[in-house]
Amino acid sequence: MDNCGVLIPIKAFDSAKIRLASVLNPSERADLSRSLAEGVIKACIGVPAWVICEDQQVEGWALQMGAQVIRNPHAGLNEAAQVGLGTLAKLGIKKAIVTHADLINPEGLLSLFEHNGIVLVPDRHRDGTNVIGLPPNIDFSFKYGPGSFARHKAEAERFSLPVTIIENTHLGFDIDNPDDLSDFGLPK
């Protein structure tokens, strides 16, 4: 997997998973976020992984995990993905995976490099976009937030590249709200 890389935007652990505040205290949310992100980084073994963040604590943690770090000069997921992808393009990376750090089971994440063009993995509700595979040198505009899968699909179709949508896979399972905790047997 030459010239491939994984980009993982991660916000500060102590401010992550706010939508779980009704069932988890700040320390529990930080621990959950860190644990899920560790799983994603471990799933990248064999391919360079970059964590893009604004937080010094996340930066230190990422370096200890063996990831490289890109500091995001802006706040927000869309901005982080855009800055990170541009950085990977400048580094000569030809195929990139941009993934959320809260995947329940990121095993097989690197198999997305087997696809050419743009790969989209929606969340299990087919609303959000958990993973995007794409060449970093295209002018792809990230559109995360509620309903992002439809927006990312429309964005992908702007390019004369094959678009592969991978649904009904464990990569579509992430933790966003309290129901997700019980759905996956996690304590809440």
Task: Please write the tens of the pLDDT for every residue from 102-115.
Answer: 999 999 999 999 99
Average pLDDT over residues 40-56: 96
Domains and CATH numbers, the chain: 4-183 (3.90.550.10)
The answer, yes or no, to whether residue 56 has pLDDT greater than 90, is yes
Report angle CA 119, 122, 128 to the nearest 5 degrees. Answer: 125
What pLDDT was estimated at residue 185?
58
Distance (Å, whole) CA 157 – CA 21: 37
C-alpha span between 147 and 128 (Å, rounded): 6
Position 154 scores a pLDDT of 98
**What's the mean per-residue pLDDT of the chain?**
92
pLDDT value of position 183? 61
pLDDT the model gives residue 35: 94
pLDDT: is 163 or 180 the higher one? 163
Would you put residue 180 in left (φ > 0), alpha (ψ -120 to 50) or beta? alpha
| Residue range 117-173, pLDDT digits in tens | 999 999 999 999 999 999 999 999 999 999 999 999 999 999 999 999 999 889 999
Enter the pTM of the model.
0.93
